[in-house]
Amino acid sequence: MSGSFVYIVIFLGLWSLDLLVNFVNSGRIAIVPSIHLDGRIPFIPWFIYFYCLYFPLIVFPFFVLFEVPRLMERYLLASAMVMLSSYIIFLAVPTKLIRIPIQPRAFSERLTLLLHRLVAPYNLLPSMHVSMLIVALSVLFVHRNAYGWVLSLPMGLSMMSVVFTKQHYILDLVAAIPLGLLAFFLSAPVQAWIH
């Protein structure tokens, strides 16, 4: 478990760089990667619960892989590849989100509004929320099919939540899927090269 803890600390350290990139991009001219179809996607407030599942779902693999250090290392490598490549893209091509107005009545709407206030509307394309979940789901399938199948639905709903909670545009989600898959598949040869 101590190995898991060290990897989680490294993982969270890399992930926290998002705040720095957000700060750098906050004053820059940015593209709004919206397409016509984005306007047809409804705002569904209760999807915010699936959005919030992201945080435990991407940490979960560290706890199930504590007896499989090679696979845990691969998860960290693939996640690092997603994060670092995303940060480079965010800095090279800044993007921003135009927030929708929300009249908070239900708890889900208040929670969505809170997240909108806490998370700066930058660093959109690709959606790290989606690409990181792709990596987590891939490693769980490799470790044990049962984990992958059981978590496919909540992870899939968490990925979809980025557009239904109006945290991302469709292109952000679409760009994130191949990034997550590519990072996972490249992590194996990178790991072999390291060792």
Is the pLDDT reported for residue 2 higher than 60? no
Which amino acid makes up residue 150?
A: V
**85: CB partners within 8 A, 6+ apart:** 179, 183
Is the CB of residue 122 less than 8 Å from the CB of residue 91?
A: no
pLDDT given for residue 46 in this prediction: 94
C-alpha to C-alpha distances, 1 to 30, 56, 69, 72, nearest whole angstrom: 42, 17, 10, 11
Count CB atoms within 10 A of the CB of residue 66.
Answer: 15
Is the pLDDT reported for residue 3 higher than 60? no
The H-or-E segment that residue 151 falls in is helix 145-164
pLDDT given for residue 97 in this prediction: 92
Q: Which two tokens stand for residue 3?
A: 């190995």
Range of the domain at 172: 2-194
Average pLDDT over residues 176-189: 95
- Residue 68: band (very low, low, confident or very high) from pLDDT cuts 50, 70, 90: confident
Average pLDDT, the chain: 89
Phi, psi of 96 (to 5 degrees): -145, 160
pLDDT given for residue 4 in this prediction: 58
Which amino acid makes up residue 137?
A: L
CA distance 125 to 103: 27
pLDDT given for residue 62 in this prediction: 84
Is the pLDDT reported for residue 5 higher than 70? no
Average pLDDT over residues 52-66: 89
Average pLDDT over residues 30-59: 93
C-alpha neighbours within 13 Å on the C-beta side of residue 26: 9
Write the pLDDT tens digit of every residue in 112-135: 989 888 888 889 999 999 999 999
Number of domains in the chain: 1
pLDDT given for residue 145 in this prediction: 84
**50: CB partners within 8 A, 6+ apart:** 154, 157, 158, 160, 161
Phi, psi of 62 (to 5 degrees): -60, -35
Is the pLDDT reported for residue 1 higher than 70? no
Average pLDDT over residues 42-71: 90
Write the pLDDT tens digit of every residue in 73-97: 899 899 999 999 999 999 999 999 9
